[in-house]
Amino acid sequence: MHYACYVFDDLDWSHRGEYMEAKHGISVALANDAVSDANRVLVDPDYNSESGRTVRIIGYSELAAGIITVIAMADGGIDYGVNGWRSNEKDQRIYREAKADGQD
């Protein structure tokens, strides 16, 4: 598992934004807020990715007042937002441990 911080800053939600909001109640604004968290954690590749092409971004959203998990994928030079939801216990732990370790 690789952790990084400066990638996937500007996600294109044109294909999946409405789906994410309908399925998980997370708006594009909330997802983007979490992605822009200075303490976010990038898990590359996403530990649940079957293709190995997606990354998991775990960040705190001020708008949601909580930790949000965002799935993203780079394709053809564009960073796409794929999905997002309120983080489960595992992702919350990953976020808090990385923050405690001083990872940005």
The string of pLDDT tens digits covering residues 9-53 is 789 999 999 999 999 999 999 999 999 999 999 999 999 999 999
pTM exceeds 0.75, yes or no = yes
Residue 52 CA to residue 31 CA, distance in Å, equals 21
What residues contact residue 45 under an 8 Å CB cut-off, 6+ apart?
Answer: 52, 53, 54, 55
User: What does the pLDDT look like over 53-75, one tens digit per residue?
Assistant: 999 999 999 999 999 999 999 99
Residue 66 CA to residue 78 CA, distance in Å, equals 27
Does the pLDDT at position 104 exceed 50? no
Q: Which of 57, 64, 63, 62 is nearest to 35 (CA)?
A: 57
All structural domains of the chain with their residue ranges: 2-100
Q: Which helix (H) or strand (E) holds 92?
A: helix 89-100
Distances (CA, A) of 62 to 48, 52, 85: 26, 29, 14
Does the pLDDT at position 103 exceed 70? no
Q: Look at residue 7 in the predicted model and tell me its pLDDT.
A: 64
